[in-house]
Structure 1
Amino acid sequence: MSADRRAIIDVDIHHNTPNVQAIFPYLSQVYRDQINEWGLLLPSYPFMNGGKGGRRVDAEPPEGGAAGSSLEYLMRHHMEPFNVDYGILTGEFYSAGTIADVQYAAALCSAYNDYTRDHWLDRDDRLRGSINIPKQHAQLSAQEIRRVGGDKRFVQVLVPGGAEKPYGNTFYDPIFEACVEHDLVFTIHIGNEGQGVNPPPTGAGYVTYYIESRASRTQTMMAHMASLIFNGVFEKFPTLKVVMQEAGVMWIAPYLWKLDQDWKGLRYQTPWVTKPPSEYFRSNMYLSSQPIELTPDPSMFKPMLDAIWADERLLFASDYPHWDFDSPRLAFPKLDPDYRQRIFYDNAAELYKLPPRITQS
């Protein structure tokens, strides 16, 4: 695939601000003064990560600033070399969802959304945005979705994996109502587990090292997935689409087998779940590819993709500019051209209502 020049859609690009002052024009004087005096007062990531501060060293713009903070360098370094037709911006601002002060969290999310619109979406029509919300307050979240959701360049609502309650809980219904109202995808991106108001990242408690935290991501996403299905979210909101990002891929198949089997024996407890869990996954849920597991036996890779309907449900993600970035040319073994096009372009184009790929004559 090293010479492959077919267009792709990258659904996980972490744009950044050059500094915290970049969002000051969108904040009240009260919050500007507070941040100048005390800092953002947001929990920091408690582990050593990879790369430089979790990011690729070569992703820092030559003109200075944090990795991912320069639109021009993002285009030169990532989108143009890899023929990325569209990039979905997922940002670096999930920690607003970790604090008890919901008014402050809401103000930060609004400021970041406006900054993304003015400094990224307004400057390049190849980009699409994610609406950050204070997910710990459903009404304020719905208010922010309705404030921003009329701008169709925002294509999804983004929440971290770390949450006080699994996302199927009825507490979040106002958020889903606003998503459906504005035809927005609801995306759960791994992050903030065990930070601030969020509970420990595993059922056994807190972990010690980053590699453990990384290994526990599947637990987080499993809990959200089961919660969404068994609380009947897709029965209440049948058009809602949910994306699960950065928690791996290959675990989905055996987990769906387990959910289907358990549902057969216990479905009398949740009579509103009218079909097997795997069917809800296939109709309402998607996965992003990064980080995708490579099977020890290469011949197993394609059957495992088939087992999760990857040609319908899998979206390519690079995770740029993080250290564990997946190159569009190296992350996957060789795939049939049509199968590859579904994963690298068509699935995302259909989900986010982007133009179909132009076929070269």
Structure 2
Amino acid sequence: MGPLPRRQARQQRERRQDLAHGHGRGQSRDGHPLPDGRPRDRLGARARLRGGALPRLFLTVSPRLKAVALLPFQNVPEAVKELRRAVSELGMSGAFAPAVGLRLPLGHPEFHPIYAEAERLGSMVACHATVRGPQFFGADGFDKFIEVHTLSHPVAQMIQLTGMIFEGVPEKYPRLRIGFMEAGCSWLPFWMDRMDEEWAKRGAVEAPLCRKKPSEYLRSGKLYFAAEGDEKSVPEVVRRLGDDIIFYASDVPHWDHDYPENVHELATREDLSPETRRKILYENTRRMYALAPAPPVT
């Protein structure tokens, strides 16, 4: 992986300082998925190398810093082994699942052994997109970053959620927790209704492993969705799906993050009840990552 660039090292120091000043817990992940097209055996070695760097950089610094592991989804047996090592030996919270870049959607049965192992370990899966590979979310005709970035996260997450629901991932692995990161949550009511309609008309034939309405899986408390601090439709999402599935994520250290302002923004919203704000800012994240209560700040 090589030495960290100076900017990344500075960002890591700043994150540690945030935690030292009592700003909750932090979850770190490598935001760059392993690319398709590499030899499968090399992908496993690369995942082990990058996964081994996270404990050195973060997990040994503070018990309040956690991480999820980068897995070689292109080599499922190696991915299962790396997930087991990351959770059982390195103390990570789960796995990073790339919403963009794989040949197959994340719900495809080829990847189900990874989800079976994650459920067995009591860990979670964090689904996250990227602007790399715009052809994966229908944006390859655009030539401006603003257009590609607008589409990337929500469209990629819609694609992956659709595949996971209709291919039976939450049905087969009912204890598995899956987080959908950095795409907001305002699209959920619309997409939930659309999936319910398709399921009612074609589910028995084309999605036999989806044995309930998609909306029932979304309300199960095992699928989680990140909310933006200034996202105006959060109250409507809470009304339609409840407040047990929405969580806060800082998006540090990405260039467009609004931390710590977005914490204050969520904590002071008058269109959300105090209990809902507490769930979004703390309780739901703790359940998703299976974290113990945060130690007191001293």
- Once the two structures are superposed, what CA deviation does each residue of 1:238-266 show, in whole Å capped at 9, x if it has no partner? 21111111122100111101111221122
Kindly state the Cα deviation for residue 141 of structure 1 after the two structures are TM-superposed: 0.8
Q: 1:266 aligns with which of 202, 205, 222?
A: 202
In the superposition, relative to structure 1, how do residues 205 and 143 fare at CA in structure 2: closer, same or farther (>3 Å)?
Answer: same
Q: 1:275 aligns with which of 189, 193, 212?
A: 212
* Residue in 2 that maps onto 1:342: 279
Q: Secondary structure at the match of 1:154?
A: coil
- Once the two structures are superposed, what CA deviation does each residue of 1:16-49 show, in whole Å capped at 9, x if it has no partner? xxxx4249xxxxxxxxxxxxxxxxxxxxxxxxxx
Kindly state the Cα deviation for residue 106 of structure 1 after the two structures are TM-superposed: 1.9
* Residue in 2 that maps onto 1:166: 105
Is 1:317 equivalent to 2:249 in the alignment?
Answer: yes
- Once the two structures are superposed, what CA deviation does each residue of 1:190-242 show, in whole Å capped at 9, x if it has no partner? 126417xxxx1334644312112222222211111111111111222121111
Q: Secondary structure at the match of 1:250?
A: coil
Flag structure 1 segments of 5+ consecutive residues without an equivalent: 1-19, 24-63
- Once the two structures are superposed, what CA deviation does each residue of 1:315-360 show, in whole Å capped at 9, x if it has no partner? 1101012222133113573332211110000111122222336899
Distance (Å, rounded) in 2 between the aligned partners of 1:359 and 1:150: 26
In the superposition, relative to structure 1, how do residues 350 and 260 fare at CA in structure 2: closer, same or farther (>3 Å)?
Answer: same
Kept in 2, the 8 Å contact 1:97–1:160? The answer is: no
Letter matched to residue 315 of structure 1:
F
Letter matched to residue 74 of structure 1:
R
* Residue in 1 that maps onto 2:144: 209
RMSD between superposed Cα atoms in Å = 2.5
Distance (Å, rounded) in 1 between the aligned partners of 2:149 and 2:217: 26
Letter matched to residue 69 of structure 2:
I
Letter matched to residue 204 of structure 2:
Y
- Once the two structures are superposed, what CA deviation does each residue of 1:103-131 show, in whole Å capped at 9, x if it has no partner? 22222211111111123101210011111
Distance (Å, rounded) in 1 between the aligned partners of 2:200 and 2:145: 37
Letter matched to residue 239 of structure 2:
D
Q: 1:227 aligns with which of 145, 148, 163?
A: 163
Is 1:240 equivalent to 2:181 in the alignment?
Answer: no
Alignment of 1:39-188 (within 5 A): 65-67=6-8, 69=10, 71-76=12-17, 78-81=18-21, 83-92=22-31, 94-151=32-89, 153-162=91-100, 163-188=102-127
Q: Secondary structure at the match of 2:264?
A: coil
Distance (Å, rounded) in 2 between the aligned partners of 1:120 and 1:167: 28
Kindly state the Cα deviation for residue 71 of structure 1 after the two structures are TM-superposed: 4.2
Q: When the two structures are superposed, what TM-score results if normalisation uses the length of structure 2?
A: 0.87
Q: Secondary structure at the match of 1:288?
A: strand
Letter matched to residue 209 of structure 2:
W
Distance (Å, rounded) in 2 between the aligned partners of 1:183 and 1:328: 28
In terms of fraction of residues, the more helix-rich structure is 2
- Once the two structures are superposed, what CA deviation does each residue of 1:54-81 show, in whole Å capped at 9, x if it has no partner? xxxxxxxxxx8123556443222x3345
Distance (Å, rounded) in 2 between the aligned partners of 1:348 and 1:130: 14
In the superposition, relative to structure 1, how do residues 166 and 356 fare at CA in structure 2: closer, same or farther (>3 Å)?
Answer: same
Is 1:21 equivalent to 2:23 in the alignment?
Answer: no
Kindly state the Cα deviation for residue 301 of structure 1 after the two structures are TM-superposed: 4.6
Q: Which structure has the larger Rg?
A: 1
Letter matched to residue 321 of structure 1:
P
Q: Secondary structure at the match of 2:193?
A: helix
Kept in 2, the 8 Å contact 1:285–1:313? The answer is: yes
Identity of aligned residues (%): 22
In the superposition, relative to structure 1, how do residues 115 and 85 fare at CA in structure 2: closer, same or farther (>3 Å)?
Answer: same
Distance (Å, rounded) in 1 between the aligned partners of 2:169 and 2:132: 22
Distance (Å, rounded) in 1 between the aligned partners of 2:75 and 2:10: 29
In the superposition, relative to structure 1, how do residues 304 and 147 fare at CA in structure 2: closer, same or farther (>3 Å)?
Answer: closer
Letter matched to residue 212 of structure 2:
K
Larger RCO (CA within 8 A; separation ≥ 6): 1
Q: Secondary structure at the match of 2:7?
A: coil
Alignment of 1:289-300 (within 5 A): 289-290=227-228, 294-295=231-232
Kindly state the Cα deviation for residue 272 of structure 1 after the two structures are TM-superposed: 2.8
Kept in 2, the 8 Å contact 1:201–1:207? The answer is: no
* Residue in 2 that maps onto 1:16: none
